[in-house]
């Protein structure tokens, strides 16, 4: 089975107040076959910058065993300690080299953990977009390829007429309220 486009989403929380809503929404998306959560981690960073990691997931036990800790491998979080992170990095580099793949350079690296402010938490979600598989495949058959991607700020939608200034401010405030 081909895997759909995969996206890493990092969400910050000043004072996490989880009531199961986020997991419930991810489960709804999974049941509709819109997305699949490949991996999900909660990272708590104390006031001294020390981190604690906890798995979050709506994966079945079989899926969790099959997929393992993909986020930890991507961002260098050694779920099995520093030795586990180093072993995972070495195995990934070896696989890339034997298959002729260009691995990330230090300039390409995204240090997610460094971006999480001290005394906060973050949810790291690795999501497969099932809905996008037919579109991606059609683009490839037409000779197309992805050059880049990213979320657009609600404030930028005003300039192109997709939102009023009031709507954009409400959306922006909703997305950034906890960060203030």
Q: What is the pLDDT of residue 71?
A: 65
pLDDT of amino acid 81: 46
Identify the segments of the chain with pLDDT beneath 50.
81-82, 85
Predicted confidence at residue 165, as pLDDT, reads 92
Tens digits of residue pLDDT in 148-178: 888 888 889 898 999 999 999 999 888 887 7
Task: Determine the Cα–Cα distance for residues 44 and 54; give it in Å rounded to an integer.
Answer: 8
At residue 21, the pLDDT reads 85
Q: Are the C-beta atoms of 39 and 70 separated by less than 8 Å?
A: yes
pLDDT value at residue 176:
81
| Residue-level pLDDT at 105 | 54
- DSSP conformation letters of 47-96: TTS-EEEEE-----HHHHHHH--HHHHHHT--TTHHHHHHHHHHHHHHHH
Q: What is the pTM of this model?
A: 0.68
Over the range 58-86, which residues count as b (16 or more CB within 10 Å of their CB) and which as e?
Answer: bbeeeeeeeeebebbbbbebbeeeeeebe
Helices and strands (DSSP H and E) totals, the chain: 8, 4
Residue whose C-alpha is closest to residue 39's, from 85, 16, 72, 13: 72
């Amino acid at each position: 089975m081909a895997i759909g486009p995969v996206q890493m989403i990092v969400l910050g929380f000043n004072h996490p107040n989880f009531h199961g809503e986020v997991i419930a929404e991810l489960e709804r998306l999974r049941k509709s076959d819109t997305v699949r959560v490949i991996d999900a981690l909660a990272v708590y960073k104390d006031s001294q910058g020390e981190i604690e990691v906890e798995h979050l997931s709506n994966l079945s036990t079989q899926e969790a065993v099959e997929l393992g800790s993909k986020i930890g491998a991507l961002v260098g979080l050694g779920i099995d300690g520093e030795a586990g992170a180093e072993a995972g990095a070495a195995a990934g580099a070896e696989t890339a080299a034997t298959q002729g793949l260009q691995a990330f350079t230090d300039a390409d690296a995204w240090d997610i953990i460094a971006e999480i402010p001290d005394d906060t938490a973050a949810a790291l979600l690795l999501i497969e977009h099932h809905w996008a598989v037919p579109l991606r495949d059609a683009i490839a058959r037409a000779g197309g390829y992805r050059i880049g991607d990213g979320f657009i700020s609600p404030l930028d939608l005003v300039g192109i007429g997709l939102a009023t200034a009031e709507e954009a401010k409400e959306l922006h405030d909703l997305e950034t309220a906890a960060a203030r």
